[in-house]
Amino acid sequence: MCWSAQADAVAGGVVAGVGLACLVRAHRSGRPGRLPLAALPLVLGVHQLVEALVWLGTDGGLPDGLAAAARTTWAVIALPLLPVLVPAAVWCATGERQRRMPAALTLLGAAVAVPLSVALASRPVSAGVHGHTLDYAVGIPHPALLLAGYLLATVGSLLMSGDRLLRRLGLLTGAGAIACALLWHLAFVSTWCALAALTSLLLLQWTGHRPAADLAHAHSADRNR
């Protein structure tokens, strides 16, 4: 995600800290359905901390077994976990009338996660330095098709959530994914850590935001007192 083990460790610690703040805010809001999506920054932070270990493994700074475990853990989070977690978390946070699309996209994410999981179980994950980034090799079948499903399940669920802040997050992650991929192919620098940080800050704002329906209910209750 970042350009060195040190950068990943620092960024991962910051993003994980924001994730803990998101969980606290979501818990205090009294809306337990928000907790799964509030946990996303913590997952992203842990992901970056794991990649710091992957960097160390490419330099020979870790035992082979620990380096292999770090690569596999990184791939499990990035590949089969996120396309299920994101739409499922959006489904949990969405009102009853708007749950059909996130539910369908959760099923799509699960369908994408199956071949990704099989690929990870079938062969070891390798990683090598690619300029100022890391290049992972997993051996995914039909990568273009799976990537399309992956993006539709994750970015699409945010865009179709019906929540203004989550739609903004969907636009950010969609545009950010394109920019990050282009910079990665140039081997200039990996900017996924910056995208993870921006995503976490938007979710921190979202966890502290009260939906319009809640505000209207509160105002109505105040008038009836």
With b meaning 16 or more CB within 10 Å and e meaning fewer, what string describes 114-145? Answer: ebbeebbeeeebebeeeebbbebebebeeeee
CATH of range 5-219; options 1.20.58, 1.20.120, 3.30.300, 1.20.1070:
1.20.1070
pLDDT over 70, % of the chain: 87
pLDDT band at 164 (very low <50, low <70, confident <90, very high): very high
- Stronger pLDDT, 200 or 180, i.e. the higher one: 200
Q: Is the pTM of this model over 0.85?
A: yes
Task: Give the Cα separation of 54 and 8 in Å (integer).
Answer: 10
- Stronger pLDDT, 86 or 144, i.e. the higher one: 86
Domain ranges of the chain: 5-219
Top mean-pLDDT range of 1-5, 84-88, 94-98, 179-183:
84-88
Beta-sheet pairing, 133-137 with 126-130: antiparallel
Report how far apart, in Å, the C-alpha atoms of 122 and of each of 72, 125, 182 are. Answer: 12, 10, 29
98-135 pLDDT per residue, tens: 889 999 999 999 999 999 999 999 999 999 987 778 88
pLDDT band at 3 (very low <50, low <70, confident <90, very high): confident
Could you tell me which residues come within 8 angstroms of residue 37 by beta carbon, excluding any fewer than 6 positions away? 26, 86, 89, 90, 92, 93, 203, 206
Q: Is the pLDDT of residue 221 over 60?
A: no
Token pair, residue 28, equals 């205090």
Kindly report which listed range (2-6, 107-111, 168-172) carries the lowest average pLDDT score: 2-6
